[in-house]
Structure 1
Amino acid sequence: MSSSSLPLFRFGIIADPQYAAIAPHAAMDRYYANSLAKVAEAIEVFNGEELSFVMTLGDVIDRSFASFDDILPVYEKLRHEALFLLGNHDFSVSSGHLSEVATRLGMPSPYYSFSRHGWRFIMLDGNEVSTFAPPEGHPHRALAAEMLAELQARGARNAHPWNAALSDKQFTWLSDEIASAAAAEEKVIVMNHYPVHPPSEHGMWDSERIVALLASQGNVVAYLNGHDHVGNYGVAGACHFVNFKGVVDTESENAFAIVEVHADRIEIRGFGREESRTLPY
């Protein structure tokens, strides 16, 4: 292999295990309990590769805080760093546990960033302004109800209670992170649970401002997400938007990926139902 065909680094991606010890929802083709075996199978593949980390793009569980006790030990077999971000179903827990979800997943905070190999990775908390994640009585809940009502009145396709938005504070933080990455000559990959592009019924309520920001910055290469289990792909500006397929779907077929970052492109190697793609930059 010539050095140009070797990636600078690689990382693993898992989206939407949505594990719970419950019966399948056959009409939706969701097999919640089977995600334990599927995540274990993905980890076996990841352990055979040199990876910088493995990111799970939210919805680790489908419901019940106790579900974390079953699925998180599966990740202990991973020989690489296991990283997480928050999905809507991760908050399908009793109200007393809402503030404990990020800590249970070992996250430094609900949204965070880190730099590796000359790249900045920015993890968003897409649930911040929602009708389910903030504690009862939090202003973000009231704001979410307002935003949702406004979108519903407009007949917006993403006007659903299972979607959400960033706070203005987090949006400013995202913008500042991209700017500081540019100053450090770092390329950027943003990750979130929710899609923002192409527009869909699963999109963030504030997708437009997020897409406008990412598409206008020359150092933002890709935005990776889950949430819409059938998967999707689009481009805005020079930014690639990749929606990974959900692990929970189908009785036995898996879906996960290894992302290989090269000097001029990103190669996504899909396993199971996940598609392989080449994203030039």
Structure 2
Amino acid sequence: MSSSVSPLFRFGIIADPQYAAIAPHAGMDRYYANSLAKVAEAIEIFNREDLSFVMTLGDVIDRSFASFDDILPVYEKLRHETLFLLGNHDFSVSSGHLSEVAERLGMPSPYYSFSRHGWRFVVLDGNEVSTFAPAEGHHHRTLAARMLAELQAKGARNAHPWNAALSDEQFAWLGDEITKATEAGEKVIVMNHYPVHPPSEHGMWDSERIVALLAAQDNVVAYLNGHDHAGNYGKAGACHFVNFKGVVDTERENAFAIVDVHADRIEIRGFGREESRTLLY
């Protein structure tokens, strides 16, 4: 199995730049301001490759709506299609800006799907039921508070206010997208900010139902996410779950990847701290 054979297509991945014009948090090894240079470096490498698109897996900023004004111009240097999904820190903005985040990132909607080369990419909004993303007084915020309290009462390891869940509507939409992909003969890659497998303190509150759905499908090949900056990997059913490392961590080392999709495998080429992996399917 030679890796020199050209892939069907390839795309770029960036996770958790968490840019802000603030001092580093040395205890967490997070260097928020340095993400401008790191994203620029990743884009230089991406621009040398023939990519279908580049996806950032959430947390473009760490805080403040004005942070978008600094980091989004860096992405304008990318010669490929630039796609985003929503992370928890992208909502660390004033309440008046909460409803504007997806639009500021140029997203068609908070969750969406698109097809490339016979593959369907299903992009989730993992923040939909949370204590921070919905508008004040929205029923999803009330539901989130109840879910969090129930998980905390059980001593669940992911019972943290910086995690969240899908609405039942979005979960049903995910199932519908997979069904449509099956009917169209498409393989599926799901993308989200939050991990769902293996279980961890960073996992979505409704991880179990998401993993059960994805693991039961023959055509769902991978689930790609950020949020847990240390990175992680697991497999359930035929689905590979890959957690990419956070750009914001460490003073100088970067972390990003190019994903080569072949007829029988996905090859992740890690740069900097990101690991390289071969996912057979």
- Show the counterpart of 2:62: 62
Aligned pairs for 1:53-92 (under 5 A) are 53-92=53-92
- Show the counterpart of 1:22: 22
- Show the counterpart of 1:184: 184
Aligned pairs for 1:86-165 (under 5 A) are 86-165=86-165
- Unmatched segments (≥5 aa) in structure 1: none
For the residues of structure 1 that align with 2:72 and 2:81, how far apart are their CA atoms? 13
Secondary structure of the residue aligned to 2:136 is coil
Measured against aligned partners, the alpha-carbon deviations of 1:222-243 in whole angstroms (never above 9, x if no partner) come to 0000000000000000000000
Measured against aligned partners, the alpha-carbon deviations of 1:71-120 in whole angstroms (never above 9, x if no partner) come to 00000000001100000000000000000000000000000000110000
1:5 aligns with 2:5: yes
Cα deviation, residue 5, structure 1: 1.5
For the residues of structure 1 that align with 2:132 and 2:244, how far apart are their CA atoms? 23
Secondary structure of the residue aligned to 2:173 is helix
| CA RMSD, 1 decimal | 1.1
Secondary structure of the residue aligned to 2:180 is helix
- Show the counterpart of 1:201: 201
For the residues of structure 2 that align with 1:186 and 1:79, how far apart are their CA atoms? 27
Secondary structure of the residue aligned to 1:173 is helix
- Show the counterpart of 1:36: 36
- Show the counterpart of 1:248: 248
For the residues of structure 1 that align with 2:213 and 2:155, how far apart are their CA atoms? 24
Secondary structure of the residue aligned to 2:12 is strand
Measured against aligned partners, the alpha-carbon deviations of 1:168-187 in whole angstroms (never above 9, x if no partner) come to 00000000000000000000
Q: Which amino acid aligns with 2:37?
A: A
For the residues of structure 1 that align with 2:76 and 2:177, how far apart are their CA atoms? 30
Secondary structure of the residue aligned to 1:161 is coil
- Unmatched segments (≥5 aa) in structure 2: none
For the residues of structure 2 that align with 1:34 and 1:254, how far apart are their CA atoms? 10
Measured against aligned partners, the alpha-carbon deviations of 1:149-192 in whole angstroms (never above 9, x if no partner) come to 00000000000000000000000000000000000000000000
TM-score, normalised relative to structure 1:
0.99
Q: Which amino acid aligns with 2:220?
A: V
For the residues of structure 2 that align with 1:204 and 1:119, how far apart are their CA atoms? 25
TM-score, normalised relative to structure 2:
0.99
For the residues of structure 2 that align with 1:33 and 1:200, how far apart are their CA atoms? 28
For the residues of structure 2 that align with 1:145 and 1:137, how far apart are their CA atoms? 12
Secondary structure of the residue aligned to 1:159 is coil
Measured against aligned partners, the alpha-carbon deviations of 1:199-252 in whole angstroms (never above 9, x if no partner) come to 000000000000000000000000000000000000000000000000000000
Q: Which amino acid aligns with 2:143?
A: L
Secondary structure of the residue aligned to 2:40 is helix
For the residues of structure 1 that align with 2:179 and 2:76, how far apart are their CA atoms? 35
Q: Which amino acid aligns with 2:184?
A: A
Q: Which amino acid aligns with 1:102?
A: A
